[in-house]
Chain A
């Protein structure tokens, strides 16, 4: 009875279901323009991601979408096909500035921010320069010089590592507080845990928090941070591949994997030889003394023994 239904591609919606912090939609100031969604370079992937600037670009928020198959919304008297739930959550803008600061660091010079934060693909990134939250915390990841009324900055790897380490430690305490299971055993969040995890070590928390922070920094920084945290390397089980099918040639004599002697038993009688053609009969009569059998040419082992 079930007929196959084809799923057409999702089309874009003109409405979304969003959960946002009140601060993101703050409407107290009237003159600075509305909160706006914006596409910026994702510091971890380098690709575009959605972010949101609050009124007046004061604060930055990231947009995450809950996406699961087979969901739709009933909104008042309408149906929204896309069952996504968007979360607009506060984000530290330094994460977004880091890649720009880092690429400016190649020259090793102090530069004004306006020269560092430039991106042809994402011109909106300059709006981060208005983001007071970012400007106030810049000294965590960069050295600063003030000449006259102008400020100059230079990326500092040491400072950044210390800053990221603090982020990891903050995350660890947040993980503990919200009772998030970081152990290896859990696969689904939908299971209700009856027993408390007891075998979770501090290292598990560190590793988990490092993974979370790595979602906001480049892969290189993530590796550096891993070292900085002195986390021991573990080889992920995914890299362990089954042994290849080709067996190495060894010097030991090859032995049969199966017992073929059963075919020689009495009850496994060989089929009677087929009738030979006239040509085969004449060949069979030929004197074969001193002639090697054809099969001997294909078995080098036998040859060696002869020698």
Chain B
């Protein structure tokens, strides 16, 4: 699998895709969606779609695609090569969500959670298939969150397409299995030869599975924790594993949307809290006879007595 497009800039989201087979533009098609790398604290999350004509579903079964989790890495590689060879009737597309995209989405001011991120990646891929002229009639999805809600959301988004959302869809429908293999192979490759944008010298690549409960992953996280910057972009900062380590080992960083107790925060910002208007005594800070002119307060300028 050629990941060069992603590796050119692994800080952003990237789409990779196979050419669209001609039959898919003329015949009714089915499409499977699955994801790889949802749980790990390291590396990207990859969304994959696979599509083929409804009439060729049997051919797909003959390829013996199965749930990617039951396969060894070598078997997955093999199956992906087979899928890629079947380009006469099978097409695929991938959305690689870089760990940096995940971190910045989940930690931004208006939180964009992992489920929404996942749903939007899936929707984007289905839309991509439609835009390429694939005659979509059926879509099969392995669920993220409650299956019914997700199914309703997708059905509304794509009227005219029959959407089936099922838990464990990757073992029920071969087309979903195929999608899961594409996603998993892409993720394996991306993690294996991760190009670190940071200047870390020779990086110890023995980070284990990347899952939070893997002791290898944990010790790797500790080793590459910078007190000021935290981690390389390879790490999902929004994962609680990463955050807990940052809270205990790194320098505390305060943002203006950090949660704080209302009255304390107000006092620190020199605002009078609403509560103070209900008490008789005036807040202590206001004993100053004159207030600084608004020219200075509006510009956050103040005199200082020490440097």
Contacts and interface: CB of A to CB of B under 8 A. Distances in A.
A47 B269 CA distance: 23
Contacts of A214: 290, 293
Q: Max chain A CB contacts within 10 Å: which of B228, B252, B303?
A: B303
B306 A189 contact: no
Contact of B307 (A5, A50, A62): A50
B296 A67 contact: no
| Interface SS of chain A | loop
B289 A219 contact: yes
A208 B303 CA distance: 19
Contacts of B303: 42, 45, 49-50, 62-65
Contacts of B260: 4
Contacts of A268: none
A66 B254 CA distance: 18
A5 B258 contact: yes
Interface in B289-307: 289-290, 292-296, 298-307
B301 A65 contact: yes
Contacts of B292: 215
A42 B289 CA distance: 15
A49 B305 contact: yes
Contacts of B214: none
A70 interface: yes
Interface string A204-219: 0000100110110001
Q: How large is the interface on B (under 10, 10 to 19, 20 to 34, 35 or more residues)?
A: 20 to 34
B243 interface: yes
Contacts of A68: 300
Contacts of B300: 66-68
A49 B243 contact: no
B304 A180 contact: no
Contact of B290 (A44, A49, A70): A44
Interface string A1-12: 111111100001
B269 A211 contact: no
Nearest to B247: A3
Interface string B214-244: 0000000000000010000000000010010
